[in-house]
Amino acid sequence: MVWTVVGPLLAGLIACPLSAYLVSRGRWQIRHPRRALMVWASVGVVGLVIAIASILLAAALSLSASSASAAAEGLALTFIAWAGLGGLGIVGSLAHLGRVDPGKDDDERPSVAEMLSRRRTDSWQVGAVAVVEIEDSRYVAVAVPGATPSIFVSRAVRHALPPSYLSAVLAHEAAHLDQLHALVRGVGAWHVACLPKRSRLRRELASRIMLLTELAADDVAAEKVGPAHLHDALVALHHLAPSRELEVRAARVRALHRTYPLPQGRVLVASLPGQRLQRKQR
Ligand SMILES: [Zn+2]
């Protein structure tokens, strides 16, 4: 009877590192970021549900163990139930700790609070999303989810980019809102907090979740405004504020759309860089 609980419980627990492993190791996720995020979320959710169900089953079986022969099993099941409930409590508390953006430490990305505190200089509507221009000397654009989802774009970036490039930036940010990337990153931060500190898998998962949400938003932007505009916008932003991430994203657009004609009649010809397509880690 104990093994009917322990077996599924172990399978559920293994899903925690397994889903991180599936999304972090290998290169296929770079080409299919949205699919990779789906695999990560599905394996993680199924594992969590199985683990919770196993713990509840252990509690129920321990209460029903009545005969003297089942006393030892009942004791074991009681232990599993209490240890499991304690474990769930610890994992739940990590959700609070995991609210920190998983890629925040290795990045100069402005926080939402920072963007909201800036003086607003203009605003307009793109579809259902409000775009707010703010006074900021940095070249930044940030999607702010909420009851009225909006995109905050710095005055510097608006004035530095031609309209077609700015459209690509806005399409990218709108995709973050549509695909609930703030939520995905929050869950990712929770998952990262559940993995052993200083483990390689933990570092890899943190950077992968951030990178894959960026690439998934790029795919939507490429579809909306065309890969050439997205590519040139990424290159222009990289020239304005050099960043390894922008460089990698531009290289990926070139690699995925090799024969796409550029507006000037050029053709994107390139391959993915030899380096690993991951955000810089500390
Ligand atoms: Zn982004």
Residue 275 counted as domain residue: no
One domain for residues 117 and 240: yes
Structure-token pair, residue 1: 């009877």
pLDDT band at 61 (very low <50, low <70, confident <90, very high): confident
What is the average pLDDT value for the chain, to the nearest integer? 85
Percent of the chain with pLDDT over 90: 58
Distance in Å, CA 85 to ligand 1 centroid: 37
One domain for residues 37 and 14: yes
Residue 262 counted as domain residue: no
Residue 104 counted as domain residue: no
Distance in Å, CA 133 to ligand 1 centroid: 17
Distance in Å, CA 214 to ligand 1 centroid: 5
One domain for residues 64 and 123: no
Q: Residue 104 corresponds to which amino acid?
A: K
Instruction: Kindly report the pTM of this predicted structure.
Output: 0.82
Structure confidence at residue 88 (pLDDT): 83
- Answer yes or no: are the C-beta atoms of 222 and 230 closer than 8 Å: yes
Structure confidence at residue 275 (pLDDT): 39
Total count of domains within the chain: 2
One domain for residues 91 and 118: no
Distance in Å, CA 261 to ligand 1 centroid: 24
Other beta carbons within 10 angstroms of residue 63's beta carbon come to 12
Distance in Å, CA 55 to ligand 1 centroid: 39
Distance in Å, CA 94 to ligand 1 centroid: 25
Residue carrying the six token digits 């022969």: 69
Distance in Å, CA 115 to ligand 1 centroid: 15
Distance in Å, CA 21 to ligand 1 centroid: 23
One domain for residues 192 and 250: yes
Distance in Å, CA 140 to ligand 1 centroid: 10
> Could you report the per-residue pLDDT of 261-282, keeping only the tens digit for each?
555 545 454 434 333 444 443 3
Domain span including residue 193: 112-256
Q: Which of 97, 125, 148 is the last residue of a domain?
A: 97
Distance in Å, CA 167 to ligand 1 centroid: 13
> Could you report the per-residue pLDDT of 88-135, keeping only the tens digit for each?
888 888 777 655 544 444 456 777 788 888 899 999 998 889 999 999
Mapped to the 3 state alphabet, what secondary structure does the chain carry? CHHHHHHHHHHHHHHHHHHHHHHHCCCHHHHCHHHHHHHHHHHHHHHHHHHHHHHHHHHHHHHHCCCHHHHHHHHHHHHHHHHHHHHHHHHHHHHHHCCCCCCCCCCCCCCHHHHHHCCEEEEEEECCEEEEEECCCCCCEEEECCCCCEEEEEHHHHHHCCHHHHHHHHHHHHHHHHCCHHHHHHHHHHHHHHCCCCCHHHHHHHHHHHHHHHHHHHHHHHHHHCHHHHHHHHHHHHHHCCCHHHHHHHHHHHHHCCCCECCCCCECCCCCCCCCCCCCCC
Residue 20 counted as domain residue: yes
- Answer yes or no: are the C-beta atoms of 174 and 127 closer than 8 Å: yes
Distance in Å, CA 241 to ligand 1 centroid: 15
Average pLDDT, stretch 255-266?
65
Angle between helices 71-97 and 2-24 (to 10 degrees): 30
Distance in Å, CA 181 to ligand 1 centroid: 9
Distance in Å, CA 70 to ligand 1 centroid: 57
Strands 150-154 vs 129-134: parallel, antiparallel or unpaired: parallel
pLDDT over 90 (residue 59)? no
Q: Residue 211 corresponds to which amino acid?
A: L
Distance in Å, CA 268 to ligand 1 centroid: 22
